[in-house]
Amino acid sequence: MNDSQTLNQWAAQYRHFADVECPQDPLYVAICRSVADSPELLALMAEAPATQRRPNLLLAALHELVLGGADDGLAAYYPSADGTRLPDAELPARLLDFVRRQRSALVANLRSRSTQTNEIGRCAVLWPALQYISALSGRQDLALLDFGCSAGLNLGVDAYRYDYGGFALGAPAAAERPTIHCQWLGDSVPPPKPWRLHSRLGLDPAPIDVQDEAAVRWLRACLWPHDRERARRLDQALALARAADHPLSPAEDCLAEIEPWLDGLPARVQPLLFNSWVLSYFETGALARHRAEVERLLRERGLIWLSAEAAALRPPGLALPAVCGASDTLWTLQWADEAGVLCQAALACSHPHGRWLRWLAPPIRG
């Protein structure tokens, strides 16, 4: 692929991101369209590792600099930095000027960072999924391994409250507790099986230390600047995480750490591997190896695999449910039955940030 084709491909990604991924954020729509029209800005994509060349990384890299105090006329557009200016005709020029002035810091972010949103809105689906897994396995005690955990905020799933409109789940309401509002679509619900987390662990090549404010600023930067509700929810979740101090382990090869973790669990506990918007960062060969090793652990070690990813990354052979769109997050479950035969099912589809969910899981037999 020549340079012109590459730039055109990247431009199409930014336009798609503006139209499909972030249409609710006017600033990001405007920035994405400005980048798509500028070969100089598009060329920044080459500074990121191949698996990170995505619009949301550049958006976060810009946002982090603004939150860190870099201005050069751009901060006025960011509500997250107390800006009140709406996107206008001056924005493209201000953006280009900002990039030129802040280029060294921006390139450093692109080369060294990865998108780590750690969106706890997805816990509105994770909570009923854990309920279903407890019923499926017949075990009340679950051990949760968050693969690609970022700051490990999803490990606090049992500390949050979930308001689905007609009913609520999770922890009791409290001023300091995040309440996640999620529209429950349809009448199907998981079986009312009680569960509890016996243990939890987060694995990540570079987990974010919730005690490190500079690291936490990167988490804030990965949020859309107009979404102040998500920002408030993040602050509450960070406060709970600091108090809970859930274990997070840095691991260059996270896959290799799963079996030692399994070795340390009591037999009565059901181990669960969970990932959300992680698999899209795998190269094709690495993804195939990851699937093969996890499937071995499903058969040999009784692991259950819960995956919340783009529909295109669903397990091979699993049909996309007709009610799910290509841009939805598809929640899938894989396990081995008593004979060691691999099973798989679609549990739910949801908004990528958990604003709604549609429960799809098949009834549990027996």
Say whether both 191 and 99 belong to one domain: no
Say whether both 52 and 149 belong to one domain: no
3-state percent helix, strand, coil for the chain, nearest multiple of 5: 45, 20, 35
Say whether both 176 and 310 belong to one domain: yes
Q: What pLDDT is recorded for position 192?
A: 83
Say whether both 166 and 228 belong to one domain: yes
Say whether both 141 and 157 belong to one domain: yes
Task: Write the burial class of residue 314 (CB in 10 Å: 0-12 exposed, 13-18 middle, 19+ buried).
Answer: buried
User: Is residue 160 within 8 Å of residue 178, measured between CB atoms?
Assistant: yes
Q: What pLDDT is recorded for position 1?
A: 46
The CA distance from 191 to 258, in Å, is 28
Tell me, yes or no, whether 366 lies in a domain: no
Say whether both 74 and 185 belong to one domain: no
Q: Which of 55, 21, 15, 56 is nearest to 37 (CA)?
A: 15
Number of domains into which the chain is organized: 2
Say whether both 126 and 243 belong to one domain: yes
Say whether both 200 and 131 belong to one domain: yes
Q: Which of 112, 138, 169 is the last residue of a domain?
A: 112
Q: Which of 47, 80, 112 is the last residue of a domain?
A: 112
Q: Which of 79, 112, 145 is the last residue of a domain?
A: 112
Tell me, yes or no, whether 335 lies in a domain: yes
Map residue 352 onto helix, strand or coil: coil
- Please give the residue range of the domain that contains residue 16: 3-112
Say whether both 328 and 251 belong to one domain: yes
Q: What pLDDT is recorded for position 366?
A: 59
Q: What pLDDT is recorded for position 7?
A: 93
User: pLDDT tens, 305-333?
Assistant: 999 999 999 999 999 999 998 889 999 99
Tell me, yes or no, whether 364 lies in a domain: no
Q: What pLDDT is recorded for position 6?
A: 92
Sheet-wide strand order for 342-350:
183-185, 356-359, 342-350, 329-336, 304-310, 270-276, 141-147, 196-204, 248-250
Say whether both 131 and 76 belong to one domain: no
186: left (phi over 0), alpha (psi -120 to 50) or beta: left
Q: What pLDDT is recorded for position 3?
A: 83
Say whether both 173 and 71 belong to one domain: no
Helices 103-112 and 55-67 pack at an angle, to 10 degrees, of 130
Tell me, yes or no, whether 185 lies in a domain: yes
Length of the chain (residues): 366
Tell me, yes or no, whether 365 lies in a domain: no
pLDDT < 50 regions, the chain: 1
Tokens of 277: 């918007």
Distances (CA, A) of 140 to 123, 194, 272, 360: 19, 7, 12, 22
Say whether both 92 and 169 belong to one domain: no
Tell me, yes or no, whether 175 lies in a domain: yes
Q: What is the 3-state secondary structure (H, E, C) of 242-284?
A: HHHCCCEEECCCHHHHHHHHHHCCCCCCEEEEEEECCHHHCCH
